[in-house]
Amino acid sequence: MKQETIAWLEGKAREIRRHIIRMTAAAGSGHPGGSLSAADIVAALYFHILRLNPNWPAWPGRDRFVLSKGHAAPVLYAALAERGFFPVEELLTLRKLGSRLQGHPDMKVLPGVEMSTGSLGQGLSAANGMALAARLDGRDYRVFVLLGDGETQEGMVWEAAMAAAHYKLDNVTAFLDHNGLQIDGPVREVMSVEPAADKWKAFGWDVQVIDGHDAAQILRAVETARQVEGRPQMIVAETVKGKGVSFMENQVDWHGKAPKPEEAEKALAELG
């Protein structure tokens, strides 16, 4: 794994974080905390892992990515724009009347969005369906899905987990954004999902635990997941809510609060 590749991905994650701050500040609303925690994972996916064609978003052979925690739409929009699916300038229309960049992703209006998400718990089921379709169609694309740790309090997640293991969907790779915070407080206090890794193992998944802010670990984990046969793969990514902005890190208030202009200026200065 070349160091220049890692450095390039780190730079992409930093730019995605800058977009997240700009977008939510311009909108005056949104979810910066969980978007910032997922930036390194999403950067690795969109700039190194996923097979995509921005000029042909519906290319049948493309890999699929489902943002199950749909409130983290800013991180997805930033990656799609940087990858060339739509103009970067459009990012500042987030949550504006008539914008394609709604508060949650809409597959009907924005190229590159594979699934409309926002009602938590549904993304893995959708990913399973895509993976089964690949099997039926004889295609080799892979399906990646990003779940929030608070989101896994939803029972539907575990039904989907059982189904993926039962049908041996080894073309499904999931990431758990394990940042420990949700809108109402620490996940452990609201409704504990621990031990997260052991739960997924018990449901028949291949499980790895990594530092979700380390690009090299993310790439190695995905490469390891590709070698697994007969089982879906879960990558538990240990992350920090609000990563990259000191006054947002590990602060539950920033789950769904946009930075004010002076706060955005300070955050952007920290992000370089």
Instruction: Give the pLDDT confidence score for residue 24 in this predicted structure.
Output: 98
Mean pLDDT for 175-194 is 98
Residues whose CB falls within 8 Å of the CB of residue 208, separated by 6 or more in sequence, listed in order:
221, 224, 225, 233, 234, 235, 236
Instruction: Give the pLDDT confidence score for residue 22 in this predicted structure.
Output: 98
Domains plus CATH for the chain? 3-270 (3.40.50.970)
CA 3 to chain centre: 24
3-class SS of residue 64: strand
Q: How far lies 71's CA from each of 32, 176, 268, in Å?
A: 9, 15, 21
- Residue 61 pairs in a beta bridge with none
The tens digit of pLDDT for each residue in 154-164 reads 999 999 999 99
Q: What is the CA radius of gyration of the chain?
A: 17
| 27 has pLDDT over 80 | yes
Q: Is residue 191 very low, low, confident or very high in pLDDT (cuts 50, 70, 90)?
A: very high
State the Cα–Cα distance between residues 164 and 253, nearest whole angstrom.
Answer: 34
Q: Is residue 100 very low, low, confident or very high in pLDDT (cuts 50, 70, 90)?
A: very high
Instruction: Give the pLDDT confidence score for residue 173 in this predicted structure.
Output: 99
Q: Is residue 252 very low, low, confident or very high in pLDDT (cuts 50, 70, 90)?
A: very high
Cβ burial 18-56 (10 Å sphere, 16+ → b, else e): bbbbbbbbbbeebbbbbbbbbbbbbbbbbbbbbebeeee
State the Cα–Cα distance between residues 16 and 123, nearest whole angstrom.
Answer: 22
**In sequence order, what E strands does the chain have?**
64-67, 143-148, 172-178, 181-182, 185-186, 206-211, 233-238
The tens digit of pLDDT for each residue in 50-71 reads 999 999 999 999 999 999 999 9
Any idea of the CA torsion for 183, 189, 191, 196, to the nearest 10 degrees?
100
Nearest to 74 by CA among 48, 99, 57: 99
State the Cα–Cα distance between residues 214 and 143, nearest whole angstrom.
Answer: 22
Mean pLDDT for 121-146 is 98
Question: In percent, how much of the chain has pLDDT > 70?
Answer: 100
Instruction: Give the pLDDT confidence score for residue 116 in this predicted structure.
Output: 98
Instruction: Give the pLDDT confidence score for residue 56 in this predicted structure.
Output: 98
| 140 has pLDDT over 80 | yes
Instruction: Give the pLDDT confidence score for residue 204 in this predicted structure.
Output: 98
Arithmetic mean of pLDDT over the chain: 98
| 177 has pLDDT over 90 | yes
Mean pLDDT for 197-208 is 98
Instruction: Give the pLDDT confidence score for residue 94 in this predicted structure.
Output: 98
Instruction: Give the pLDDT confidence score for residue 40 in this predicted structure.
Output: 98
| 95 has pLDDT over 90 | yes
Nearest to 143 by CA among 233, 39, 81: 233
Which tokens in the block code for residue 186?
Answer: 């620490």
